[in-house]
Structures are given as C-alpha cells and as structure tokens.
Amino acid sequence: MTEPTIYELSSPGRAGVTFPDPDVPRAKLPDSLLRADLPLPELAEVDVLRHYVNLSKYNYNVDGGFYPLGSCTMKYNPKINEDTARLPGFTFTHPLQPIETVQGNLALMYTLQEWLKEISGFTAMTLQPAAGAHGELTGVLIMRAYHKDRGDAKRVKMLIPDSAHGTNPASSGMIGLDVVQIPSDARGNVDLAALKAACDETVVGLMLTNPNTLGLFDEHVEEVVKIVHECGGLVYGDGANLNALLGILRPADVGIDVMHFNLHKTFSTPHGGGGPGSGPVGVTEKLAEFLPSPIVGILEEGNDDMPPLFGFITQKKTIGRVKSFHGHFGVIVRAYTYIAMHGADGLRQVAEYAVLNANYLRTRLNKTYRLPFDRICMHEFVAEGKVEGSDIRALDIAKRLMDYDFHPPTNYFPLIVHEALMIEPTETENKVTLDAFADALIKIAEEAKTQPELLHEAPHKTPFGRMDEVKAARELVLCCWLPEDYEKK
C-alpha cells in the first residue's frame, strides 16, 4: 500500500481554501507575469491533512522509538522547549524592531552566549551560524583571518585527522585550503609522529573532533594541541560531540582556540528533517575581534533599579555577517530552555549518562561484533557490521534492525572502519530500551548464520522493503513535473 503523491490525489476544481474578499482595490497583474500552466494540486483540506498524516506514519522519529544514529545525538527533545519557543513574546517579534522593544529576546541571546562560554571556557561567542558545518566554515574563516591579520600569508594547509567528521575537510576545502589527512594510531588517537611531520609554517591549523568519530577521547589531546601551536597553527574543535564532555571538560582548557556547538545535538533542539540546526562558534581572546558581527552585548550597564540595555556590537576585525539577522532564533530559545532546565549539575549528568549508556551497549555487544578499537568509549562507539562465517554486511544488519522497530545506527562511517556501525544511544534511553536493542543485534547475528536471507531481504515489516540505493543515486529525478508529464518526457 502506497500513499499516492499529492499530484495524483488532485482533482480540478477542488479547493482547500476560500480566499477572503480583498480589503484593497483589485489590481491586474502585468500580462508578462500571468501563466496558465502552473501545475499546483487541487485538494480539499481534509484530503491534504490525511495525505500528510499518512506520509508521517512512514516516518521513524525519536518520539516513536530508539534512534541510535551515531554522530547525530538523536536524544529526546523535551517538549517544554516547544512551549517556550511558542511564547508570544518570541513569536511575535521581528529582528528589525528597535532594540528597546526586544530586550527580552536580546537578554536571552546574551545569556545563552554567556552559558555557552561557561560550558566551553571560551571568551567570545557568535550565535549566527545556521548549523554545525556552517559553524565550521565560520571557524576556519576566523582562523584564516587571524593569520592574515598577523601578515602571515603563507599558511594554506589544514590538518584533519582521518577520524574527524566528514564536514571538516569540506569546510576547509570550501575556502580554498589544502586538506592534509592525519592518520590514527592503533588506539584510535591522532598519530603524533604523522602530526609532527605535517606541521610546518604553512599550517593554518588542525581540525580536531574530540571525542572523535570512533567515540574515543584522544589520550594525547594536550600533546596534539601543543604540536600544532608550536608550528604557529590554531586548533579548531569540532563541538558536535560535546554531549560527552558537558560539565566535565571545557575544550578551551586543553588549548582549543575555536569551536562550534551543535545546539541541535547537545542542547536538544529538533533535527534530522525537522531542524533547522544552529551552530554557535566560541573563540579564545585572541580570536574574539574576528567573530562574525553583530553579536549581542551590553550597551549600557544596569544597576539595582534598571536592567542593562542589550544591543548589537560589531567586532573590530570581523569576518562579516554569516547569516541574515541573528541566527535561528527559535532554536536558540529551545537550547536556552534546555540549559536552564538542567542547570550545571544536570548538564554534567547528561554527559555521564550518555557515556554510561554507550559503554553499557559496547560491553553487551563486543562479544558478538568485532570492535576495532575496544576501549572505554565516550558517547558512542563503532562496531564492524560483519558476522564470522556469514556474508552479511553492515547494510543488511541495519535494514534488519528496522524489523525490530529500531532506527538503524549510522553505517559506513567513519570510513576508517570496514562495514562500520556507529552506535550512539544518548543519555535519554533507559536500560530496558538499551537491552532490547542489544538483544536485537545479538539475535540478528544469529540469524546471519542460520537464516541469512532474512537479512539480505530485510526490512520485511516496513511499508517499503529494501530500496535500490544504486538506482536512486544514479537515476536522479528531482523535478516536480506531474507524473503524466514525466512519463512523456
């Protein structure tokens, strides 16, 4: 049973809305702007509603079940975040209003900046970037601007460990830097000898994901930072995995110079189709004046009787604006709410439970699946999706998990592990859920030996079975033509 497309449900003359009479004089559109062939579907309101409700039932979401998608931190998003984001004082304001009329919004942004600074140890913060990779781009632009400002124009290389997030080389490549990959050592740390060999006077910096994509905390992080600093480079921290460190380690304290946060991961705002994201960037003192501008600051100090006047401040050597207005404000409100609800001790517990849950799953599974780096992990770990004596692959295991009502883990990433299954349970899952997931994976390993066809053909219980990923990638159809027109073409 397949839900038809909204175009297939369309019938000429059906209408979902009745336009009200205009309260201004009617005006004729210029002939050049009129067209007769605009293919918009025509449906009644109830048909539109049912169509999208039915489609939503195909969707798997964190409100419906366990979503251990490694690297993505698909934690449960508390619903109080939605309540605060819908407060009329936030929803009925506009970024172009005079600042005196939006002091509450500005106070919230200022406070979030201060909290993120306290959590990370950085001295200045921008909330502008729209998501994590946008934060990375902002960060590498700041790093380049810093070197340029010192009159050091020969730095063109960005060092990136092979256990980094895939967006790191993309962000560096996008501004024209040469990406140099640094291998991992046998324990999943940055290979110090290779790092030393790559460090010279042409290095802009290193982009370090720590914990890295293997879910491992780099055991020599201070040494790594020192080596990069000694050649004049800066260290970028990919904050996507901050969930493991909240309240335990402040990245600036180990020498990280600049880092983005993923509010939509660590601070529980919706993402993965729901989005949007938000990727604030924090920097140390020497990089503060390069931040995107404006940032929210205090224009006039307050006193016992008067609150301070919040407003916008432009940094002296700013790299410019990276986002229209002031970032994704609705997301900022949700992250603020999450931090306010948890407090400092609560945030530390978030990290502790995220790490505990990951290690619980790791130790339940490491006798069934090979873990290439089987040491205490942080918030996630990577297993090999293979079973001795069977030809099944990570993809088969991932698809079969859907039959057990679980969202599959991230697969085939990181690339340094063959047939990778990257599992991140997050702190919001209880032991019953974790056990059910581990039991399913152990049972699937049994099935791989006794009934491999069950895996090869999985999933069986979903509305659609195994998708043809090759065909989907090779034969792209991205137009919105009516189906019958598409047939003709």
Rounded to 5 degrees, φ, ψ at 403 are -70, -20
**Stretch of 28-36, 313-321, 408-416, 458-466 contacting other proteins, by CB under 8 A:** 408-416
- In 314-455, the DSSP E strands lie at 381-384, 410-411, 420-423
Give the residue with the Cβ less far from other proteins, 196 or 370.
370
Residue type, 45: E
The reply on whether position 384 binds other proteins by CB under 8 A is yes
The reply on whether position 488 binds other proteins by CB under 8 A is no
The reply on whether position 223 binds other proteins by CB under 8 A is no
Q: Which residue among 53, 156, 175, 415 contacts other proteins (CB under 8 A)? A: 415
User: Rounded to whole angstroms, how far apart are CA atoms 25 and 11?
Assistant: 31
Name the minimum Å distance from CB 472 to other proteins: 8
The reply on whether position 456 binds other proteins by CB under 8 A is no
The reply on whether position 466 binds other proteins by CB under 8 A is no
Where are the alpha helices (H) located in 199-268, listed in sequence order? Answer: 221-230, 263-266
Q: Which residue among 470, 478, 479, 480 contacts other proteins (CB under 8 A)? A: 470
Q: Which residue among 473, 477, 478, 479 contacts other proteins (CB under 8 A)? A: 473
Handedness of CA 341, 344, 347, 353 (dihedral sign): negative
From the number of C-beta atoms within 10 Å of its C-beta (0-12, 13-18, 19+), residue 240 rates as buried
Count of residues near other proteins by CB under 8 A = 12
Rounded to 5 degrees, φ, ψ at 376 are -50, 125
**Which of 243, 252, 180 is closest to 217 using CA atoms?**
243
Task: Show the binding pattern over residues 172-191: x = contacts other proteins (CB under 8 A), - = does not.
Answer: --------------------
Cα separations in angstroms, 132 against 117, 127, 271: 17, 11, 11
**Stretch of 51-59, 257-265, 271-279, 469-477 contacting other proteins, by CB under 8 A:** 469-477
Cα separations in angstroms, 374 against 70, 182, 190, 365: 16, 21, 16, 11
From the number of C-beta atoms within 10 Å of its C-beta (0-12, 13-18, 19+), residue 236 rates as buried
CB count in 10 Å sphere of residue 111: 15
> Tokens 């993505």 correspond to what residue?
72
Give the residue with the Cβ less far from other proteins, 83 or 178.
178
The reply on whether position 469 binds other proteins by CB under 8 A is yes
Give the residue with the Cβ less far from other proteins, 360 or 412.
412
Give the residue with the Cβ less far from other proteins, 265 or 393.
393
Give the residue with the Cβ less far from other proteins, 418 or 443.
418
Give the residue with the Cβ less far from other proteins, 469 or 484.
469
DSSP 273: S
Tokens, residue 237: 């921290």
Give the residue with the Cβ less far from other proteins, 316 or 474.
474
User: Rounded to whole angstroms, how far apart are CA atoms 171 and 136?
Assistant: 6
Q: Which residue among 14, 50, 348, 370 contacts other proteins (CB under 8 A)? A: 370
Q: Which residue among 57, 418, 460, 461 contacts other proteins (CB under 8 A)? A: 418
- Report yes or no: 206 and 236 within 8 Å, Cβ to Cβ: yes
**Stretch of 210-218, 240-248, 399-407, 467-475 contacting other proteins, by CB under 8 A:** 467-475
**Stretch of 278-286, 288-296, 343-351, 410-418 contacting other proteins, by CB under 8 A:** 410-418
> Tokens 């798997």 correspond to what residue?
60
Binding residues for other proteins (CB under 8 A) = 166, 370, 372, 384, 412-413, 415, 418, 469-470, 473-474
